[in-house]
């Protein structure tokens, strides 16, 4: 396994549409393992292949007790609404407010080509939507109805620090 470099906004690769995965081979397995390691190292919730410069429909998401691999994912159902803060490893130092469905059910293949269904609420549903949009070349900043100002961002970071101190 190896860490991959996460590209950031301004890099045109992030705006391209990814092709479906058709070869379930060793190369795909290596990509998925590398993406999982990169996600953990970056302390993120989700990562899509174009963020590591690979234009294939592959996503990894940390659902809490494991990191799931989503190859050729498709949303089957979505319902409800949530409104909250969102960030992206490819848009460092920024957060924006985005409305998303509160529940999402999707199907995806694993590295062997087997299909599975997954469902998630709140943060997981938000992450599913966010990561799948990466596969079509879209960033959450296009959907955000408000990007945090520098003051709002500083206040948020400061709140996190206070919380960390309380927990220490
Ligand atoms: Ni992202």
Instruction: Tell me, in angstroms, the distance from the centre of ligand 1 to residue 24's CA.
Output: 24
Instruction: Tell me, in angstroms, the distance from the centre of ligand 1 to residue 45's CA.
Output: 9
Q: Does 142 qualify as catalytic in the annotation?
A: no
Q: Which residues of 135-145 are buried (b: 16+ CB within 10 A; e: fewer)?
A: bebebbeebbe
> Mind listing the pLDDT tens digit of every residue in the chain (168 residues)?
799 999 999 999 999 999 999 999 999 999 999 999 999 999 999 999 999 999 999 999 999 999 999 999 999 999 999 999 999 999 999 999 999 999 999 999 999 999 999 999 999 999 999 999 999 999 999 999 999 998 998 888 888 777 666 655
Instruction: Tell me, in angstroms, the distance from the centre of ligand 1 to residue 159's CA.
Output: 23
For residue 85, what pLDDT is reported? 95
- Choose, from 66, 131, 150, 151, the residue flagged as catalytic: 131
Alpha helices in the chain (DSSP H): 26-42, 123-134, 150-167
| Edge-to-edge strand ranges of the sheet holding 58-62 | 46-48, 58-62, 67-79, 103-109, 115-121
């Amino acid at each position: 396994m190896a860490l991959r470099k996460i590209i950031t906004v301004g890099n045109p690769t992030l705006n391209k549409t990814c092709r479906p995965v058709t070869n379930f081979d060793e190369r795909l397995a290596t990509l998925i393992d590398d993406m999982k390691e990169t996600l953990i190292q970056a302390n993120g919730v989700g990562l899509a292949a174009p963020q590591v410069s690979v234009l294939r429909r592959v996503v990894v998401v940390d659902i809490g007790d494991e990191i799931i691999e989503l190859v050729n994912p498709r949303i089957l159902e979505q319902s409800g609404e949530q409104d909250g803060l969102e960030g992206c490893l490819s848009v460092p130092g920024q957060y924006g407010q985005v409305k998303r469905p509160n529940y999402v059910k999707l199907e995806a293949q694993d590295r062997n080509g087997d299909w599975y269904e997954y469902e998630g609420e709140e943060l997981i549903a938000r992450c599913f939507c966010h990561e799948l949009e990466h596969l079509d070349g879209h960033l959450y900043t296009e959907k955000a109805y408000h990007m945090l100002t520098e003051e709002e961002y500083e206040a948020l970071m400061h709140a996190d620090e206070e919380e960390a101190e309380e927990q220490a």
